[in-house]
Amino acid sequence: MEAQAQPLLCTVDRTVHCRHVPVTGGVPADLAGCRWRGAACALKRSACLKVYATSSASGSPGPETEKPTLAGNTHKLLESTDGKSTNIFWHNNPAGKNERVKLLNQKGCVVWITGLSGSGKSTLACALSQELHNRGHLSYILDGDNLRHGLNRDLSFKPDDRAENIRQVAKLFADAGLICITSLISPYRRDRDACRYLLPRSSFIEVFLNVPLEVCEGRDPKGLYKLARDGKIKGFTGIDDPYEAPTNCEIVIGWHDGMCPSPKATADEVVFYMTKNGYLT
């Protein structure tokens, strides 16, 4: 028997991840005053979620809609429609985010390293991961080149494909409590911002390797700039494809007097930022 759909009221005290799907029939007026404020904000901001709760007044609580919480209270499962999936439910985990923060002594986040090919993203990602490891912190690197051998092997370098899957994966890692280090050209501001806004506030640290094109091209460790200049690779970032530099990111690694700080010095700068801002405890 299908649950009878009614607007959800005040029975859920955990937020659900629901920012990106259109609300069917608009935001219920009575959602405004409920304790489910995170979701209410998200609903207002964009659009999301068909919310159902089985009517207890109708007698039967409904087969899948009420579950006891650990505290003995009941809360209702939320049915959501996200993308093409229907009849899916959000399950809360009692060993939640705060517990993971305490266990790991770190706040899960995404360190998003962006810059031209050859700017030193992969090198910094490894140096940073090593530095964090030395200090007893758990991190994981998502590297553009590596991901294109596996998870993202079906993606091209067209604008819609660049950086696509990474956002959701990075978000999952950060939610799991890891320091997720991404090393991606990610040339478009809107793609980087899309990940920033997908994450909880202050969980996204954008690091821009501001290395001039001539320097990257001079390094050309894979010979790709040469191929691009010879017209043998089309749409190469910096040559015949754009790179939109960040305008307001957390950390810019600058190029001073013709010198680039070493990978270790750069990693230390990122760790310093993370310590100062409470990511590492």
Ligand X SMILES: Nc1ncnc2c1ncn2[C@@H]1O[C@H](COP(=O)(O)OS(=O)(=O)O)[C@@H](OP(=O)(O)O)[C@H]1O
Contact residues: ligand X, CB under 6 A: 117-118, 121-122, 144-145, 148, 157, 162-163, 184-187, 222, 224, 233, 235-237, 241
DSSP 33: T
Q: Please tell me whether residue 235 binds ligand ADP under the rule CB under 6 A.
A: no
Which one of 65, 117, 139, 237 is in contact with ligand ADP (CB under 6 A)?
A: 117
Q: Which is nearer to ligand X, 10 or 151 (CB)?
A: 151
- CA neighbor of 54 nearest in space, from 65, 46, 45: 65
Cβ at position 87, least distance to ligand ADP in Å: 42
- How many residues are present in the chain? 281
CA distances from 35 to 9, 31, 52, 96 (A): 8, 9, 16, 19
Q: Which is nearer to ligand ADP, 62 or 115 (CB)?
A: 115
Q: Please tell me whether residue 119 binds ligand ADP under the rule CB under 6 A.
A: yes
Report how many helices (DSSP H) and strands (DSSP E) the chain contains, helices first. Answer: 9, 9
Q: Which residue has the tokens 């992969």?
A: 122
Catalytic residue status for 186:
yes
Judge whether 181 and 162 are in contact, CB under 8 Å: no
Q: Which is nearer to ligand ADP, 119 or 152 (CB)?
A: 119
Residues in CB range of 176: below 8 A, 6 or more apart: 100, 108
Q: Please tell me whether residue 260 binds ligand ADP under the rule CB under 6 A.
A: yes
Q: Please tell me whether residue 274 binds ligand ADP under the rule CB under 6 A.
A: no
Please identify every residue annotated as catalytic: 186
Residues that bind ligand ADP (CB under 6 A): 115, 117-123, 183, 219, 221, 260, 262-263
